[in-house]
Amino acid sequence: MGTVRRYWRLLGIQLKASGLLALQYRADFFTEGVTSLFWTFTALAPLFVVFGERPVVEGWSFGESLLVVGWFTLLQGILEGAINPSLTGVVEHIRKGTLDFVLLKPADAQFLVSTQRFLPWRAFNVLTGLGLFFYAFTKLGRAPSVTGVLSSVLLLGTSTLLLYSLWILTVSAAFYVVRVDNLTYLFTSIFDFARWPSSVFQGVAKGALTIFFTYVIPLALMTTFPAEAMLGRLPLHALGGAVVGSVVFAWIARRVWQRSIRHYTSASS
């Protein structure tokens, strides 16, 4: 229990330091807000084109698809505000051999590298995602059920865990190769597919792409499943599978990180 309190206190210190740093550049908050709105409109433009001629695509109406875009925007805010800033810094530490400064501290290295920097102004993406949820249910003409809201909150936790685990796996590759910039760009490009319902890809390669985005890189679990939960049509076994799958991914990522650290060569060695 004392260890948990210690790590919560460490997290609080890291958040406070990031908040104070962000306050030095307050104009960035408004700049990022305008940029976020621009990119959200860009993400919505294909939906207007696709649903302009047809009311339903692969079982999804325009309002229902908006929920998927809302989840994509919300998770993008978490990725770029809480996960990406810290973990991209790890790549530089590994390349320069300065990860020693982290490994020598009396705390878990994965926790320290995962919480060393946050970008609070990316919270604007989270607010934009919540705004899209409100607009989507206004278009649908109804409100989400209490069960749907609770299920989607649970899936928000599993989606964040999946996103974090995938980034840990990506960053762990930096222990074996000099640069993983291309890998991070590739992951970001693949994540863009999460703005569409997974069933849209059923016609591609006989459904292979849908299976790939559900079980290999589980984008469907991050955006499509939470959207279906909000609509009240996600089966209970799918909810359980998402929870178990995210825990398994986190366990694998933890094991890969621990194994990768053994291959680390510091600046002094």
3-state secondary structure 218-242: CHHHHHHHHHHHHHCCCCHHHHHHH
pLDDT tens string, the chain, 269 residues long: the values are 677 888 888 888 888 888 777 777 767 767 766 776 777 777 777 777 778 777 888 888 888 999 999 999 899 888 888 888 888 778 777 777 778 888 888 888 888 888 888 887 777 788 888 989 999 999 888 888 899 899 999 999 999 999 899 889 888 888 887 666 667 777 777 888 888 888 887 766 667 777 788 778 888 888 899 999 999 888 999 899 889 989 998 999 999 999 888 877 765 55
Task: DSSP letter for 214, please.
Answer: I
Please list, in sequence order, all residues whose beta carbon lies within 8 angstroms of the beta carbon of residue 149, skipping any fewer than 6 positions away: 230
Please list, in sequence order, all residues whose beta carbon lies within 8 angstroms of the beta carbon of residue 123, skipping any fewer than 6 positions away: 77, 81
Q: What angle do CA 183, 44, 216 make, to 5 degrees?
A: 35
Q: CA-to-CA distance for 218 and 250, rounded, in angstroms?
A: 13
Beta bridge partners of residue 61, listed in sequence order:
56
pTM of the model: 0.86
Q: CA-to-CA distance for 226 and 215, rounded, in angstroms?
A: 16
As to burial, measured by CB atoms within 10 angstroms (0-12 exposed, 13-18 middle, 19+ buried), residue 222 is buried
Q: CA-to-CA distance for 124 and 129, rounded, in angstroms?
A: 9
As to burial, measured by CB atoms within 10 angstroms (0-12 exposed, 13-18 middle, 19+ buried), residue 214 is buried
Beta bridge partners of residue 57, listed in sequence order:
60
